[in-house]
Structure 1
Amino acid sequence: MKVQTRIWTPIDFNRDGKFVDCLRVPYSSDRSAYGWIPIPIVSIRNGDGPTAVLIAGNHGDEYEGQIALMNLARELKQDDVAGRVIIIPSLNYPAVKAGRRVSPLDEGNLNRMFPGKALGSPTEMIAHYVSDVLLPMADLAVDLHSGGFSFDHMVCALIRPGRNSEETKQLLELVQVFGAPASFISNGDGGGGATTLNAVSRELGVPTITTELGGGATLSPLGLRVAEEGVRRLLKHMGITPAIVVPPSGGSELMEIPGRDYAIYADCEGLFQPAANIGDDVHEEQIAGSLHSLDNPNQPPLQLRFPRAGRVLCRRFPSLTSRGDCLFELMRAVERKE
């Protein structure tokens, strides 16, 4: 028997109007036996039409998307919409409040917990609600991410291949409409595999755009602008906000990450000294950086080299590094078939 979500909200998503409230995630603690955790949400509906589900704060230390969706939520009125827009600027609200990637309640990494569990931990319940309630209503989903505390990340959009060629063609069109400087196709091998929001969306047949908009747990002006304009273009393209004013897309360079050998991982602890920046084009065996030993100041630093040629997609942000930390990830341009 299918278990229903335990999360509830006063908002009726099928009711016309603009409504601002929150999702209520049940949570029992020492100080609140029958309490709940709020997740702010805005629902704007105006008659029949497509539905867009717009999400940020999937990870709590990623800010460009959160601000972009807050600005959009304040701007949009019911008369601007033909269909429905559901906006959640801080999906993993406990992590957002704590300024952390993961939830302080259960150490849950939300974008590694989809499709979630109806009777699980708070983070699992949030993932289940998105998978079981929100995404089935959606004709478009946008999940705005950044590099967070641990990465400096090139501003880009990403998609997964669709379930068939028509779905992939639609997704490729949508990333061009979104208009990030670069976009890449990912099967999820370098991240959450089948446990991300994007992976669940694919299985449901919901076209979904994910982003990386900066990093270092700070705010990238470029990333914020790309998020604000890109989301507005998608809404206009889908006919959901037909009269919204937004600059046209300049297109997006299509990239790919061919495999794990396009990344560099630390094989020991130390202080990381990078020798390349995000967006740099690098060649195979080019010096990528050094790792300095914490225990032996007389020991020469371990020299790192890029295993492949490509463009730097992301770079570790903190200098203090442990074995297994990702230091660089590269991407390369997709070869065009004649």
Structure 2
Amino acid sequence: MTGDTQVWTPIDFEADGKQCDWLRIPHSTDLSGYGVVPAPIVCIRNGAGPTTLLMAGSHGDEYEGQLALAALARNIDPAAIQGRIIILPALNAPAVEAGRRVSPLDDGNLNRSFPGDPFGGPTAMIAHYVTSVLLPMADIAIDLHAGGRSCDYIPCALVRSGGPEAEQRALADLAIAFGAPVTSISDGSGGGGKTTFSAVGQGLGVPVLTAELGGRAALSRDGLAIAERGLRNVLKHTGILSDLAADPAPPTRFMRVRGRGAFVYAMRRGLFEPAAELGAVVEAGQLAGVIHAIDRPWQAPEPITFTEDGMVACRRAPMLTVAGDCLYKLLVDVEPG
């Protein structure tokens, strides 16, 4: 599988020191027949030890992780670590350059493209390289996200359920070390979860922690601070930065997605007026919002109700909405035991 990849980099992942370069993703165009798409990558290594893979920019309009990883890449001294850190702050570089969730080159949604295709478009090639080359090197991986233009999130970590018991314990320890206010546990069934980075990580036995740190294609200062502190604490937790004077992680509240009913969808086109704030505790039957018809403003807005109890973890950001848009995601506490 590794030999099929068309993506390459001059970085030597076995060499000590700090190397900063690009992944080269082949992309032939009218004006660049032998061109490549550059995606920045940093490898920091010092002797034997664990490997942590850190990624952001899978979606180009999610910014807290991009800034946190860029700062980490600049500031870490190789002599201070034991092991290896691989950092990709702008993994889907074309989407980052365009400020879009999907790549402008092929409309590819990177975090719905795993395990990828070595002979597909640029997005599929990136996913395949991560799956076949980078993930097999890693002992743990962190993928930093936010809600992008489409939604806003409470800052939270996300872990995938369904793996072996040892992997689930490792993920819980990772979430505790990261220290987001909430840790959401889900099988991914609500949003194409079988084609995400965490899904291929689980398939390869690599614990993957994802984080949602804000949204609206803006920068959350709180989300950035959580990412910066969480990354330091995870690197200390793994032993890569064992001497780091990291801030103690605050407790995380373990919650879960109950199932597909945790998601509220628009059933018509119109202007979405929400009735519940992020972090609010809601009940089944409670008003979630209304949708105003654009072409028939004389009609009463269509009410939307929650079908389950829970806490609002995510809410749609744009008012303009169409049938099928996700308006809310709810979480419930994990039962003791």
TM beyond 0.5: yes
CA contact (8 A) 1:158 1:185 kept: yes
Identical amino acids, percent of aligned pairs? 54
Aligned length: 337
CA deviation string 1:190-240 (max 9, x = no partner)? 122211111000010111100110000000011101111111101100001
- After superposition, residues 142-291 of structure 1 pair within 5 angstroms as 142-161=142-161, 163-291=163-291
Q: CA deviation at 1:4?
A: 1.9
Instruction: State the alpha-carbon separation in 2 of the partners of residues 110 and 170 from structure 1.
Output: 25
Instruction: State the alpha-carbon separation in 1 of the partners of residues 285 and 129 from structure 2.
Output: 46
- After superposition, residues 125-136 of structure 1 pair within 5 angstroms as 125-136=125-136
Q: Which residue of structure 1 aligns with residue 37 of structure 2?
A: 37
Instruction: State the alpha-carbon separation in 2 of the partners of residues 316 and 323 from structure 1.
Output: 13
Q: CA deviation at 1:163?
A: 2.6
Q: Which residue of structure 1 aligns with residue 119 of structure 2?
A: 119
Q: CA deviation at 1:306?
A: 1.1
Q: Which residue of structure 2 aligns with residue 298 of structure 1?
A: 298
State the secondary structure of the residue aligned to 1:127.
Answer: helix
One-letter code aligned to 2:298: N
Q: CA deviation at 1:95?
A: 0.3
Instruction: State the alpha-carbon separation in 1 of the partners of residues 225 and 190 from structure 2.
Output: 26
CA deviation string 1:137-194 (max 9, x = no partner)? 0001000010000001111001112531111111111101110000011111112221
Q: Which residue of structure 2 aligns with residue 104 of structure 1?
A: 104
State the secondary structure of the residue aligned to 1:7.
Answer: coil
- After superposition, residues 54-133 of structure 1 pair within 5 angstroms as 54-133=54-133
Instruction: State the alpha-carbon separation in 2 of the partners of residues 2 and 208 from structure 1.
Output: 20
Distance 1:162 1:286, change over 3 A: closer
Q: CA deviation at 1:256?
A: 0.5
One-letter code aligned to 1:97: E
Q: CA deviation at 1:51?
A: 0.3
Instruction: State the alpha-carbon separation in 1 of the partners of residues 307 and 171 from structure 2.
Output: 30
CA contact (8 A) 2:162 2:187 kept: no
Instruction: State the alpha-carbon separation in 2 of the partners of residues 6 and 209 from structure 1.
Output: 27
CA contact (8 A) 1:113 1:196 kept: yes
CA contact (8 A) 1:162 1:171 kept: no
CA contact (8 A) 2:2 2:133 kept: no
Q: CA deviation at 1:120?
A: 1.2
Instruction: State the alpha-carbon separation in 2 of the partners of residues 132 and 3 from structure 1.
Output: 9
Q: CA deviation at 1:3?
A: 4.8
Q: CA deviation at 1:283?
A: 1.6
CA contact (8 A) 1:22 1:40 kept: yes
Instruction: State the alpha-carbon separation in 2 of the partners of residues 42 and 225 from structure 1.
Output: 21
Q: Which residue of structure 2 aligns with residue 321 of structure 1?
A: 321
One-letter code aligned to 1:189: S
5+ residue gaps in structure 1? Answer: none
CA contact (8 A) 1:11 1:19 kept: yes
State the secondary structure of the residue aligned to 1:32.
Answer: coil
CA deviation string 1:33-61 (max 9, x = no partner)? 00111000110000000000000001110
CA contact (8 A) 2:8 2:24 kept: yes
One-letter code aligned to 1:304: I
Q: CA deviation at 1:250?
A: 1.1
Q: Which residue of structure 2 aligns with residue 49 of structure 1?
A: 49
CA contact (8 A) 2:159 2:186 kept: yes
TM-score (norm 2): 0.98
Q: CA deviation at 1:118?
A: 1.0
One-letter code aligned to 2:272: F
Q: Which residue of structure 2 aligns with residue 7 of structure 1?
A: 7
CA contact (8 A) 1:3 1:118 kept: no
Instruction: State the alpha-carbon separation in 1 of the partners of residues 194 and 303 from structure 2.
Output: 34
State the secondary structure of the residue aligned to 2:4.
Answer: coil
TM-score (norm 1): 0.98
State the secondary structure of the residue aligned to 1:133.
Answer: helix
CA contact (8 A) 2:143 2:211 kept: yes
State the secondary structure of the residue aligned to 1:132.
Answer: helix
